[in-house]
Amino acid sequence: MRKLILVLLLLVMSAGLIACAGGDEKAKEIFTKAYEAAEEMQSAEVSINMNQQITIGDSAMDISTDMEGEVIADPMALHQKGKMTMNMDETPMEMEMEMYLADNEFYMYDGMMGQWFKVDQSMMDLYTNQQELADQLEMFEDYVGDFSLEEADGHYQLQLTMDSKAVGEMFDSIIADYMPEDMLESLGEEGTKLLDSMEVTHLFYELTVDKNTYETKEYRMEIETTMDVDGEEMKISIDMNGTYDNINGIDKIEIPAEVKEQAIEQPF
């Protein structure tokens, strides 16, 4: 279940990268210029705040994640550090999180276990494949009429709300095109069954673009999903905000030697 939830969160972030490929002519023009600027973005400082609520039956879990770090596009490298706060049935728990990806190696720190892990290839492939989603924007031409555009001081806001059918089709495409086959197999029969039962019921996406440079400054996404767990409905609601700063100001990201020395190999 833990691995499935992590996979779903990565797929959610993938949707955030691509859901905005549409709109009226003005919005489409803004997006095109923002996409061209994004292609020139080689690095940035990234901050992410994500609030999740998972409910099944009478049980509920609230999860808040705050991450800050740096990312380099080519070759893909990143460092992110932050904390996750979980509250289940009014019992709080806080866990440190950190990850490094560089030189085709992916390491994650599990604060609950106090241990670094070297992540398996399939999870790394899923994470790095997200960076190539721009090549698949043509899949979303059917949604060009669904965009709205707002203007404010110094920036544009592109907004998109998708119904469950459209979002479902989008996620099916993401899973088919970007989820490695060995990762699907590693979920096992139970995990695959849960994934098959997943229904995305709501998605809202907002992209904030600088008026002068057309660089992406912020994004916000709300998403709601349901799935069947042993005959009970599990609901997952996610509200995620992200910001980009110091664009093209990061030269190099290296994995510390002590991380490699302490890490043990274990698939998530």
Give CA–CA dist 142/57, Å, rounded.
37
Cα torsion 252, 253, 254, 256 to 10°: value is 130
- pLDDT for 37 equals 83
**Residue 203, H or E segment:** strand 199-210
Give CA–CA dist 31/218, Å, rounded.
14
Average pLDDT value over all residues in the chain: 77
At 89-104, the pLDDT tens digits run 777 889 999 999 999 8
Confidence of residue 81 (pLDDT cuts 50, 70, 90): very high
- pLDDT for 190 equals 61
Burial grade of 1 (CB within 10 A; 0-12, 13-18, 19 or more): exposed
Give CA–CA dist 197/137, Å, rounded.
26
At 103-136, the pLDDT tens digits run 989 999 988 889 999 987 666 665 655 543 344 3
The CATH number of 2-265, from 1.10.760, 3.40.50, 2.50.20, 3.30.1340, is 2.50.20
Whole-model pTM over 0.85? no
Is the pLDDT at 185 greater than 90? The verdict is no
Instruction: Answer whether the bond into residue 75 is a cis peptide, omega within 30°.
Output: yes
Phi-psi region of 167 (alpha: psi -120 to 50; beta: other; left: phi over 0): alpha
Q: Is 18 helix (H, G, I), strand (E, B) or coil?
A: helix
At 227-249, the pLDDT tens digits run 887 888 889 899 999 899 999 99
Pair 87, 96: CB distance under 8 Å: no
Cα torsion 235, 237, 3, 263 to 10°: value is -150
3-state helix, strand, coil in the chain (%, to 5): 35, 45, 20
At 134-179, the pLDDT tens digits run 443 344 455 656 778 899 889 999 887 876 666 666 666 666 655 5
Domain parsing of the chain, residue ranges: 2-265
